[in-house]
Amino acid sequence: MQTSRYQNLKVWQRGMDLAEAIYQRAKELPAEEKYALGDQIRRAAVSIPSNIAEGYARQSTREFAHFLAIARGSLAELETQILLCGRIHYLNEQVVNELLKMIGELQRMLANLSTKLTIETN
């Protein structure tokens, strides 16, 4: 790995951007969902950059790839929750599309990095 700190990884930076956006949008959920669905969304969002950081800090390409897979799972969980928020009209269509665009970008970045690490370990 060439980058000296996980904070320099663009994929981690985008994960943090997404988590920040999710925290802001979770405030818009109805009061009865702030501690149910809102909590689920926040946990999934913060899990993404957290797993990127933890995997990177392990200083093992194989372990980093494992933690990226966990981050990808959290991202799929978050995507599902955002889609649900749109279907039940907790978030408007524009907000949902904005978040899905960020999620899609991060999915591509994680997939590309995972592929690169897989090539390095083989």
Q: Over the stretch 74-106, which tens digit does the pLDDT of each residue have? A: 999 999 999 999 999 999 999 999 999 999 999
1 within domain boundaries: no
What total number of domains does the chain contain? 1
pLDDT of residue 122: 72
In angstroms, the Cα distances linking 100 to 32, 75, 95, 96 are 24, 10, 9, 6
Q: Which residues of the chain have pLDDT under 50?
A: 1-2
98 within domain boundaries: yes
pLDDT of residue 119: 87
Q: Are 45 and 78 in contact (CB under 8 A)?
A: yes
pLDDT of residue 1: 42
pLDDT of residue 66: 96
pTM > 0.75: yes or no: yes
> Where are the extended beta strands (E) located within 33-79?
none
Instruction: Return the CATH number at 104.
Output: 1.20.1440.60
pLDDT of residue 35: 86
Q: Domain containing 26: what range?
A: 6-121
104 within domain boundaries: yes
